[in-house]
A and B are shown apart, each in its own frame.
Chain A
């Protein structure tokens, strides 16, 4: 049950786009379209931003989008805003019927 691999940090200026990658294996991200993404500002509970690779829950801006290729999933945030500054985590269902999270990525809006 090794954690999915995410970059520790990414940054961008307001209005720009940033992409956060999430690399797993053939036991989690690869065979399952069951990757989700969470936003966690400091001191708060996580919030679901994307589920099943590409789907946005009601209320999440369409600036947030998800994709997957092979064993790597990605979260793209376009039109970056100051309020997007937070930690972001990916998660995947696994072939062992368990779940695994990524190590988290700190997004800084410059």
Chain B
């Protein structure tokens, strides 16, 4: 079964850091571009970041640029999101998603990040 499973979310104080992981199974992660997308409580989907299959190209939303870093370990079939200098407005469910053609065809169940003192 093709599946993505996120982990690493939790409660963190403003200014703190978290590292999210997204484990892929049922397919070879290395052949796909991957994304992180977040959704604040009661709000819509917001694109966060994308990495190409070789990890040679990364892009970020302006709201996280310079604070978040997307990476991947194709040997371990895992995608990561390192989040630093966290703010209250980063509170959200974070989803990883696989890109197929120009659509995100496989999504994880999400991991919740809460930034609060």
B109 at the interface (CB under 8 A from A): yes
Known: A97-B59, A98-B59, A101-B46. A57 touches B105 (CB 8 A): yes
List of B residues within 8 angstroms of A100 by Cβ: 47
Work out how many contacts link A and B, with CB atoms closer than 8 A.
Answer: 67
CB-based contact A98/B47 at 8 Å: yes
CB-based contact B107/A46 at 8 Å: yes
CB-based contact A89/B104 at 8 Å: no
Question: Which residue of A52, A98, A101, A103 contacts B103 across the interface (Cβ within 8 Å)?
Answer: A52
A34 at the interface (CB under 8 A from B): yes
* Residues of chain B in range 59-117 having any CB-CB distance to chain A below 8 Å: 59-63, 95, 97, 100-105, 107-110
**Measured between C-beta atoms, what is the minimum distance from A9 to chain B in Å?**
13
The residue on A at minimum CB distance from B61 is A1
CB-based contact B45/A101 at 8 Å: yes
Measured in the bound complex, the distance between the Cα atoms of B105 and A102 in whole Å is 17
Measured in the bound complex, the distance between the Cα atoms of B37 and A36 in whole Å is 14
Interface centre among B35, B46, B95 (most CB of A within 10 A): B46
CB-based contact A52/B101 at 8 Å: yes
Measured in the bound complex, the distance between the Cα atoms of B45 and A103 in whole Å is 7
B44 at the interface (CB under 8 A from A): yes
CB-based contact B102/A101 at 8 Å: no
* Residues of chain A in range 35-61 having any CB-CB distance to chain B below 8 Å: 36, 38, 40, 45-48, 50-52, 55, 57
Known: A45-B108, A89-B45, A104-B45. A1 touches B62 (CB 8 A): yes
Which residues does B use to contact A, with CB under 8 Å?
35, 37, 44-47, 50, 59-63, 95, 97, 100-105, 107-110
